[in-house]
Structures are given as C-alpha cells and as structure tokens.
Amino acid sequence: MEIIKSSADLYAAYKEIAQKAADLNNASAVLGWDQEVYMPAKGFEVRGRQLATLASLAHEMLTAEPYGNLLTELAGRGDLTDDEKRNVVLSLEDYNKNKQLTPAFVEAITQQTSASYNAWIQSRKENKFSIYAPELDKMIALKKQQADMYGYDKHPYDALLDEYEKGANVTLLDAVFGDVKQQLPPLLNKIKQATQVDDSFFNKHYPKQQQWDFSIDVLLAMGYDFEAGRQDMSEHPFTTSFAPTDVRVTTRVDEDNYASLLWSSIHEGGHALYEQGLPIAQYGLPLGAAASLGIHESQSRLWENNVGRGRLFWHHFYPMLQQYFPQQLQDVTVDDFYKGMNKVEPSLIRTEADEVTYHFHVLIRYEIEKDLISGELYTEDLPETWNSMYDKYLGVSAKDDKTGVLQDVHWAHGSFGYFPTYSLGSFYAAQFYQQTAQEISSLNDDITNGRLTGLTDWLRGKVHQYGRRYTSEELCKRITGKGLDFNTFMQYAGQKYAGIYGL
C-alpha cells in the first residue's frame, strides 16, 4: 500500500534539496570571490575544475527527475501557505528551465568562465585583446548553444535576457533604448553648450588608506552590516552573497582619482544591503533570492546616484571628507564638490561615467552583444566595432584595448544579457526614489543630517523582503502604481542637471 505523505513532509523534502543545492552554489561563490580577490595566478586552472564540479553537482540535484516529480506533486496540493506555494511555482519554473541544460554543458561553461576570466586578466595586463579573443570566442559559442537549449520565439538573445530580467526581450529593450537615443541627446547637447564645471580637484593625490576609511564610514551609515560582510579590493568592483549573513563587496582604488573608489563602494553597498535584507528563513528558496538584476541594480544606482551624488548627502558627509583630506579639499566648497562629482562629459569608462552618458555605454554593449549572439558580429571585429560605436554615440574613441573593449569582466563570466539591467535599474531607481520622497516626509532632513537607515528600512519593506515573489514590473507597479517609466528618469535628470549647469 502506497503511503501518501503530507504536504508538510513533501515541502520539507523539497526545501532540503533546494537548500543543499544552494550550499553548493554558495560554496562556488566563495571560490569565485577568492578567485577575484586573493587567489594566486597559478590557481586558475584547478580553480576552474573545482567550480565546474560544484556547479555540475548543484545542477544535477536541481534537474533530477525525483525532484521534478516532488515539485509537480507539491504544485497540485491545495494546503500550502502563500509563501510555500510561490516557492514551489518558481522552483518548478526553474526546474523546467534547468532541464534544458545538460550536466556536461554546465560543467563546460563553468570551466570556460574560469579560462575566459584568466585570459581577460592577462589581456588587461598586457593591453592586448588578441590574448582574450580565443577564449571569449569559445564563451560566445557556448552562450549561443545555451540560447538554443533554452529556446526562444524571435531572437536568441531573448533566452539569455530571461536569466537576468524575467520577461525582458529584444522588443522591449529596443523600445527602452529607443527612448534613450531620442531623449537623452538633447539634454547632453544642452550641457555641452553650457559652461563646464570644474572637477580637477578629484585628480589630486588621495592616499589609499584615507579613501578606504571614509568609504567604510559611508557604508556603516547606509546600514551595511560588517558583522555580515566585508569590503576588499578587486580588479573589477562587485558584490557577492553566500547568505544574508555573509554578503561581501569589493572596490578599487586610484590614489590620483578620488572618484574611482567611493562611488564604487556606495554602488556595491546598495547591492549588499539588498542581499542582507533578504529573508534568511527563505535561504536557498526563490523567496530568499533577489527579484531580478534590474531590481538589484535599482538598489545600487539609487544609493550611488540619487543619494550619493545628491546635494543633500554631502551637507553631512563633506565636512567629514574634508577632515580626511584637509589639504586636497581646503579650497573646495561643498557646492564645487557637488557640481564636480556630477560633471557630464563623454568618456570611455562605463563605471566612471556620469548619469547622462552612462546609458550610452550600456546601449553600446547591448547592441554589440545582441549582434554577437545572433551571429551578425564576430569576436575578432569587436575592437573596431567598439570604437566605431563609441565615436557614434559619445564622440570618443579608445586609445587602447584596456580602456576600450577590455574594460568589463561580464563577457568573461558569460553574462550576456546582464548589461541592459544597468539602465533598467537606473530607471527603476528614479521611480523608487521619487516614491520614497512622497512616503517619507522627513527624507530630505534625514539625508541632510546623515541619517540614512530610514531609507534602508523603507527599501527593506518595499523591495528586499519579497525576494522573487514579484517580477520587476509587478514590484514596480506595487511600489509606484505604474510599470517602468523612462520619463520619470528624464524628469529627475533634467531637474538635477539644469541646476548644476544653469540650463
């Protein structure tokens, strides 16, 4: 006689499998963090094997037929709580998607990620794209294969986009970036015709330790929990999470360019606050994971731009900064500092771009990787295409590969479909911040006086606590009453830069 298990028993079995797979993935994340922060150069080959083994084991657990049967059984039960039902539905979607990838493919792409990253590092050191190109070409081939495995209706890039921004597709993004191409150039042209602000004081000598110490002060004020995280240095700033109780950020320093470290720390701190705010009780389950990369990016861009590059923030923090750098900033007023940090000028480096030109950097990457995946662009043509597009959209051209096609690590990681989420995040951030100002009457006074945790608490209640319960659009509508609205960003940017440049 077959024993019919209770829903509670079945859910406990599901939870155990999902959390064990999460343990493996988070062990991989620890190795990945070490690879980018501390690992010696000779460790790359074996580290690739280690990461591939863990990824393959996790994939096998989450694509095993008994696990799928368990999810199907649970999905048909009517006595689950709302949270349990949502976890099961999302896990079943993930299961069906993961089943499209074979264990051999997962192992191959994980190993290729390590090889591509190593080649990217070497290429940057020697400033030669040709070192990276063969490994990148292998990665692109694997991503095309992955798109075919997932399946798609119109464009192979759609299949890869869905990994980062559920529901996004080329049709949607072409429309969004169509708005960027139509509405941002007039603002940029007005700024070009205005008197340029001075930011030369950023290029004085700012010792590393003082930069570092001030960034720690700011992260603490934001509410980042250093008992559940840490900050380190890496080639490319990033945030990684192993659980809400262990979320780490990295940054990079340039002693002759103060702008390099601080806003990277604030940006990554925004990501980290999101991860630390996810419910620990849902560890390893969909409701314990971020809604999407677009929403994730909304958190980092909100803190970096709407707050960290805002005038109110520096009323409190600028006197502190002057204590760290009295000689460098003794003749620089807070208004000078505010205007200088928001200087708009076409440039080559995405991570250091201003809020207006930033979205052209993302647009270029979106159009390039879309064509790489469709086969309309070949790897060997990337440097030339890159420079041509930078000239077209921003009127600048890279003097070498390091400041051009080699500046981002994303393609080495296989993160095709990731870049558009940066712009989507900025647009969501503008809407969320506008809504915050409407709901927290003391927000301006709080930020002016360095009290930032009220904003953190609002984001915890509106965004962080829900995990993957809602899609980006559903969450945006829940918070602001409408979906993604580029016009809100344009209103914010127009007002901000009109004040800075006297437009």
In contact, 167 and 292? CB cutoff 8 Å: no
CA dist 427 and 422 (Å) reads 9
* Core vs surface per residue 129-168: b (16+ CB within 10 A) or e: bebbbebbbbbbebbbebbeebebeebbbbbbbbbbbbeb
Name 230's bridge partners: 248
Alpha helices in 331-381 (DSSP H): 334-341, 358-374
**How many helices (H) does the chain have, and how many strands (E)?**
21, 3
CA dist 164 and 420 (Å) reads 9
Where are any strands of DSSP class E within 192-244? Answer: 229-233, 239-243
CA dist 405 and 386 (Å) reads 6
Structure tokens that stand for 499 in this block: 């004040």
Cβ neighbours for 167, distance < 8 A, ≥ 6 positions apart: 471, 472, 473
Q: How far is CA 457 from CA 351, 422, 460, 461, in A?
A: 27, 23, 5, 6
Q: Find the catalytic residue in 268, 304, 369, 473.
A: 268
Structure tokens that stand for 140 in this block: 């692109």
3 state SS of 371:
helix
In contact, 264 and 307? CB cutoff 8 Å: no
Structure tokens that stand for 239 in this block: 């945030």
CA dist 240 and 33 (Å) reads 7
- Catalytic, 16? Answer no
CA dist 91 and 94 (Å) reads 5
* Core vs surface per residue 424-435: b (16+ CB within 10 A) or e: bbbbbbbbbbbb
Name 241's bridge partners: 247
In contact, 245 and 280? CB cutoff 8 Å: yes
CA dist 39 and 373 (Å) reads 31
Instruction: Determine which helix (DSSP H) or strand (DSSP E) holds 250, and give its type and residue range.
Output: strand 246-251
* Core vs surface per residue 275-295: b (16+ CB within 10 A) or e: bbbbeeebbbbbbbbbbbbbb
Q: How far is CA 452 from CA 21, 164, 457, in A?
A: 36, 29, 9
Pairing of strands 229-233, 239-243: unpaired
Instruction: Determine the residue type at 97.
Output: K
Structure tokens that stand for 451 in this block: 């009290």
Active-site residues: which are they? 268
